[in-house]
Amino acid sequence: MPLPVYDPATYPAQLAGKLAHFEQTFASLGVTNTVAHASTPLHYRLRAEFRIWHDGDRLDYAMFDPEAPKVPIALDTFPPAAESICTLMPRLRDRLAVSPTLRRSLFQADFLATLSGDMLVTLIYHRTLDEAWEAAAREMAAELGIMIIGRSRGQKRVLDRDWVLEEFELNGRQLRYKQVEGSFTQPNGGVNRQMLGWACQQAAGIGGNLVELYCGNGNFTIALAPLFDKVLATEVSKSSVHAAQFNLEANKVENVAIARMSSEEFSNALSGREEFTRLKDIDLAPFRHATLFVDPPRSGLDAVTLELARGFDRILYISCNQQTLLENVTALQDTHQIAASAVFDQFPYTHHLECGLLLTRR
C-alpha cells in the first residue's frame, strides 16, 4: 500500500465509506444508526516516528513507501502530526545538523506530544551515547524547550523525564494523564476525547461496579470511575500499571483498584478456578455482577475471557480490529445483543477504524 494522500477535501467521503463498511460488516448482528466520530482532517497525531537520512552535511526526516522500501521520501513536515510536532520538526533538524556530537550515527527521531503542550523527543543512535552527547543534548533541549531521551542498543539516557503529562477537559472535569515513552497511548488526542465521552454516555445511569480489562495507563478508567461505585482494573504491562496508579492519584480517583495480571488470569480468578496473591486484598464478590469494559489488543478476547464476558449483563467493548470484534460479538450472540454502536476515526486516510459497541444481555 503506498503512502496515503492527506487531502482534507476527500476526508468526509472517506469517513462515510468507512462507516458504510462497518455497518455492512455488522448488519447481521443488528447494527444500525451507528454514530461516526470524525477526526480533524490534519494535525491529529500526537505521536510520530521518522528515520533520519544523512546526505553529506544535510539531514532529512524520511519515510518509506512500502512499494519502494529502499527509496527515502524526504519530509520537511508531516500533515497528520500535531501542529506542535510540525513546528518543531525543522527547528530540531537544523539544530541537529550543526552539531557533530548529536548528528553522528543518528538514525531515528520519535516525537510524543500532548494536547496540553508537553513535548518529548527520543533520538535513536547506532552508537553508545556518552557524557559529551548528554551535554550537547541538554543544551539543545533548553534551546528548543523540549524533553529529550537518547537511545542506542541496550542504552537509554533520560535527560529530564521519560513521560509527558496530558491534560484536557471532559464532561466538566480536568483530566490528567502520565503517558510514558515507549508505552501505548492513544495517538489521536481529539478522537480519544470523543471515545471517552461516548463511553461515559453509554455508562451513565448504570451504577454498580465496573470491571475493566486491558486498562493501560488508565485512559478510560479515569473517565469512567465517577460513574460507578467501585472499579477493578487489570493490565499486564508494568510500566502501564505504574502510570495508571500515578494517574489515579493525579486525578484524585479513590474508588479504583488495579491488578497487574492478564485478562486470562483475571478470568480464572473471578470464576474461582485460580487464586492469586496479587488479588489477596480485593474482595472479588462485588465484581461478579458488574459492568464489563474491554479495550483489547488487535487479537481481541481470548476464549477464556469470552466465557467470562458471558456472565456480565452489560459489556462496553472498544476495538481497533473489526474482524476480531465481529468474531467476539458473534460468539456472544446467544447471550448478548448490540444496544449501541459507534466508530472513531483515529487514523484518517487509512482503512483503520476504532469501533465501540454496547452489549446488553438478551
- Taking only the tens place, the pLDDT of each residue in 271-325 is 888 889 889 889 999 998 899 999 999 999 999 999 999 999 999 999 999 999 9
**How much is the pLDDT for 3?**
67
Residue 215 annotated as catalytic: no
**How much is the pLDDT for 65?**
84
Q: Give DSSP secondary structure letters for 166-179.
A: EEEEETTEEEEEEE
Q: Is residue 340 pLDDT above 80, yes or no?
A: yes
Contacts for 322 with CB less than 8 Å, ≥ 6 apart = 22, 25, 353, 355
More confident residue, 64 or 225: 225
**How much is the pLDDT for 356?**
98
Cα→Cα distances 123→18, 129, 131, 155, 159, Å: 35, 11, 15, 12, 12
**How much is the pLDDT for 45?**
97
Q: Is residue 7 pLDDT above 70, yes or no?
A: yes
More confident residue, 104 or 66: 104
- Please say whether the beta carbons of 119 and 147 come within 8 A: yes
Distance of CA 266 to the CA centre of its chain: 22
> What backbone phi and psi angles, to 5 degrees, belong to 237?
-75, 125
Q: Which tens digit of pLDDT belongs to each residue from 32-71?
A: 899 999 999 999 999 999 999 999 889 999 998 888 888 8
Q: Across all residues in the chain, what is the average pLDDT?
A: 95
The terminus-to-terminus CA distance of the chain in angstroms comes to 42
**How much is the pLDDT for 273?**
87
Q: How many whole angstroms separate alpha carbon 214 and alpha carbon 294?
A: 6
Q: How many whole angstroms separate alpha carbon 344 and alpha carbon 194?
A: 8
Mean pLDDT throughout 217-237? 97
pLDDT band at 238 (very low <50, low <70, confident <90, very high): very high
Of 215, 152, 154, 217, nearest to 183 (Cα)?
217
Return the amino acid letter for 142: A
Biggest alpha carbon distance in the chain? 67
- Please say whether the beta carbons of 77 and 89 come within 8 A: yes
Return the amino acid letter for 220: F
Return the amino acid letter for 27: A
For residue 226, how many other CB atoms are within 10 A of its CB? 14
**How much is the pLDDT for 67?**
83
Of 362, 279, 357, nearest to 22 (Cα)?
357
Q: How many whole angstroms separate alpha carbon 248 and alpha carbon 164?
A: 16
Cα→Cα distances 56→59, 100, 103, 247, Å: 8, 12, 12, 45
**How much is the pLDDT for 2?**
61
Q: How many whole angstroms separate alpha carbon 75 and alpha carbon 233?
A: 41
Residue 354 annotated as catalytic: yes
State the catalytic residue, choosing from 86, 215, 320, 355: 320
Mean pLDDT throughout 97-120? 97
Cell of 48: 510520530
Q: How many whole angstroms separate alpha carbon 240 and alpha carbon 233?
A: 12
Q: Which tens digit of pLDDT belongs to each residue from 173-210?
A: 999 999 999 998 999 999 999 999 999 999 999 999 99
Cell 474461582, residue located = 272
pLDDT band at 153 (very low <50, low <70, confident <90, very high): very high
Cell of 329: 460479538
**Whole-prediction pTM value?**
0.94
Mean pLDDT throughout 248-268? 94
